Amino acid sequence: MTVQGTILNGGAASGPTLVLTEPVSFWGAFDPRTGKIVDTHHPQQGTALGGSILLLPETRGSGGTPGGIAEAIRRGTGPLGIILITPDINLAVGAQVAAALYGRPCPVIAVSEEDYHALVKCERLSIGADGSISA
Amino acid sequence: MDLDIEDRALLAGEQGPAMKLAMEIVVQAGRIMGAERLVPVSFAHIDACFYNGQAHIDFAEYCLKHGAQFAVPAWGNNGVVSLTHPQLYEGHPDTEMVDGARKLLGLYEALGCKPTWTCAPYHIPGGPKFGDQIVAGESNAVSFYNSVTGARTNKYGDYLDVACGLVGKAPFAGLHTDEGRKAELHLATDRIPDAWKREDIFYHLLGHHVGRLAGRRVPVVSGLGVKPSEDNLKAVSTAVASSGGVELWHGVGATPEAPVLDAVFGGGGRFEMTADDLRAAQQALTTGRDGPLDVVALGTPHFSASEFRDVLSLLDGRKVRPGLRFIITTSRFVMGYLDSKGWSQALRQAGVEIVGDICSYYAPGINPMKGRVMTNAAKWAYYAPGMLPVEVCFGSLKECVESAVKGEVWRDPGLWSALQ
C-alpha cells in the first residue's frame, strides 16, 4: 500500500515502525540522551524511539519540543521519520533545524486518520521525499 | 504564501545561511499554520535560551557565526542556571549542563538579546503595548501578553521564536488575527461572593479551573466584579496555560479586549462557576497533607515588586522558622528594584532567599528541593510533583507566609468558610 501525506518537514527515510498509543511531550517526558520516553504517566515509559519510523496521533504541545527532537537527531537517538495525524509545527521545526545543522533529514508527515490507522498495522514503512508513505 | 522582495532575498541566502534558515523556518511554520502572509512584529520574548542540550548551543552558534542579529527588541526568558547566583553551582556534578546553560545565555546576549532572563518580562518597562504584533514562547508570557497587555502572539516554540525575531516577522494566523481572538466558551463567576474575589488565591484557582475547561480554546470569564490587580491577572494567565493550553483568555471588564461580553463572545459553551469548582481546584493542586514544612517556594512566574511588598507586609517584622527554606524566584530587574527600596536586605534578614534568572521547579542549582513544599503558585503546584521529589500544599499568599513563620502548614480559618 501507498498513501500520500502532507509534508511538514521533507526528507526520505525507511525503517521499522514504532507506534505510540498516547501523545508524548518531547520536553520533560523524553530524554534525548537515550532516546527513551521517561514520563512515568506514559504507558510506554522506557521505550526507545531511536531508529524507528515513529507513528503517534499527536504530541502534547510543548515549546521545548523542537530542542528535544533536534538534540535526539544530533545524537542519533531519535526516530528516522515521524508520521502523525495532527500537524505539529514544533516537531517540524526541530527536524528542520537538525537537518540544517547536522545534515540528517528526519521527515515529518501528517496523514488522515483513516490512513494513520492503516499505517500503524505495518511493520516497516518507507517515506518518500514527495511525502508518499509505502509499506 | 505571499512573500515580499525582502523575504525572498532572505530565502535566496542574500544575508547568509543563518538568515536563510530563519526565513525557511518561518515560512515552513506559516505553511503548516495555513498563513497566507507574514506580519511584521515589534518585539520577541525568546525561550530558546533555556538550555536543552547541545543542539540549542549549535543553533545559536550557527546564527552568530553567520552574522544573524535580531531585527526587533528581543528579551530573554529565564535560563536553566542563574547568573546572579553562581555560587549555587559550585561543585555541581553535571558540569556539561551548567557550562552549556551559561554559554547559551551568553550566545543569545551576543545575538542582541537583552539579558532579562525572566519568564515575567511584562514586569519590565518598555515592553509591548496594546495591539502590538509580537512573538513569545513561554506559556505564561504568551498568555499574559495576549490577555492582559492586549498584544498579539501565538505560542512559538524553540527556534521558531528566534527565527521570527531575526526576520522580524511571524506567520499571520491564529491569535495575530481578529477572528482568532474571539472567545469560544463563557464562564460566569457571579455565584462566587465578592469577598472571595479579593483573595489572591481565587485567581490561581479560577485559572486552574478555566484551563481544565477550555483546553486549547479561548475562554471568557465574566462576573469578576471587584477590579482584579495585575498580579491577579497574572495568576489567571499562568494557571490557564498550565492546567490547559490556553494562550489567550478574556475577563469582562478586566482585560482590555473585553469591556463587555459581546465584544469577544458570539456564542459557544456557557458554564457557571461554583464554590465546589474552587474546592476541586484546591484539591487538584494539593498532593501533600498539612504538617511540618521543608520549603515555601514562591515566584512562578517570577515575583513582581508588588508581590514582594505583600510578603514583607505579611511577615510584619517576623522571621522565617529556622531550618525552613523560604525561596522566591524573580528577575534581576525586580531584584534591582528591591535593592533600591531596601527590601532585599529586609527580606534576607527575615530569612527569605531571593534567587534571580531561574525557575525553582526546573533549576538544578536549587535542588535538592524535596519534602513538603508550600506554594501559592498554581503553575508550581501543577508541575513540581512530576519533576521533583516533593509533595505540594497549595495555599494563599497569607497562608504561605504564615506557614513559613510557623514552620508548618497554617490554614486561614476564615478563608474557605467565607465561601459557604
Rounded Cα distance, B91 and B199, in Å = 42
| ipTM (interface pTM) | 0.94
> Quick check: is A62 catalytic?
yes
Residues of chain B found within 8 Å of residue A40, distances taken between Cβ atoms = 386
Are residues B292 and B240 part of one domain? no
Judge whether B166 is closer than 8 Å to chain A, CB to CB. no
Residue B145's Cβ-count burial label (10 Å; 0-12, 13-18, 19+) is: buried
Question: Minimal Cα distance from A98: which residue of B?
Answer: B55
Please tell me which residue in A14, A25, A52, A62 is annotated as part of the active site.
Answer: A62
Are residues B167 and B44 part of one domain? yes
Rounded Cα distance, B168 and B205, in Å = 37
Residue B305's Cβ-count burial label (10 Å; 0-12, 13-18, 19+) is: middle
CB–CB of B21 and A62 under 8 A? no
Give the closest-approach CA distance of A102 to chain B in angstroms.
9
Which of A32, A41, A63 minimises the CB distance to B157? Answer: A63
Print pLDDT tens along chain A (135 aa): 899 999 999 999 999 999 999 888 888 788 999 999 987 778 999 999 999 999 999 887 678 899 999 999 999 999 999 999 999 999 999 999 999 999 999 999 999 999 999 999 999 999 999 999 999
- Average pLDDT score over residue span B390-417: 97
Closest CA to A135 of B190, A127, B348, B91: A127
Give me the domain span that covers residue B304: 286-411
For the stretch B267-300, pLDDT in tens is 899 999 999 999 999 999 999 999 999 999 999 9
Give me the domain span that covers residue A26: 2-134
Q: What is the 3-state secondary structure (H, E, C) of B206-242?
A: HHHHHHHHHCCCCEEEECCCCCCCHHHHHHHHHHHHH
Are residues B148 and B235 part of one domain? no
Q: What is the pLDDT of residue A28?
A: 76
Report if residue B417 sits inside a domain: no
Using DSSP's 3-state secondary structure scheme, residue B16 falls into: coil
Are residues B158 and B15 part of one domain? yes
Q: What is the pLDDT of residue B343?
A: 97
- Average pLDDT score over residue span B355-366: 83
Judge whether A101 is closer than 8 Å to chain B, CB to CB. yes
Percentage helix, strand, coil, to 5, in chain B? Answer: 45, 15, 40
Concatenated DSSP letters of B302-339: EE-HHHHHHHHHHHTT--PPTT-EEEEEE-HHHHHHHH
Residues of chain A numbered 21-80 and touching chain B (CB < 8 Å)? 27-28, 32-33, 40-41, 61-68, 70-71, 73-74
Are residues B61 and B169 part of one domain? yes
For the stretch B63-83, pLDDT in tens is 999 999 999 999 999 999 999
How many distinct structural domains can be found in chain B? 3
Are residues B150 and B27 part of one domain? yes
Are residues B36 and B157 part of one domain? yes
CB–CB of A93 and B58 under 8 A? no
CATH of the domain at A115: 3.50.30.10
Domain boundary among B229, B249, B283: B283
Report if residue B333 sits inside a domain: yes
CB–CB of B48 and A67 under 8 A? yes
Domain boundary among B261, B283, B305: B283
Which of A32, A64, A92 minimises the CB distance to B32? Answer: A92
Judge whether A94 is closer than 8 Å to chain B, CB to CB. yes
Q: What is the pLDDT of residue A61?
A: 67
Q: What is the pLDDT of residue A29?
A: 81
Residues of chain B found within 8 Å of residue A78, distances taken between Cβ atoms = none
Q: What is the pLDDT of residue B367?
A: 61
Which of B32, B52, B158 minimises the CB distance to A8? Answer: B32
Question: Minimal Cα distance from B138: which residue of A?
Answer: A63
Report if residue B419 sits inside a domain: no
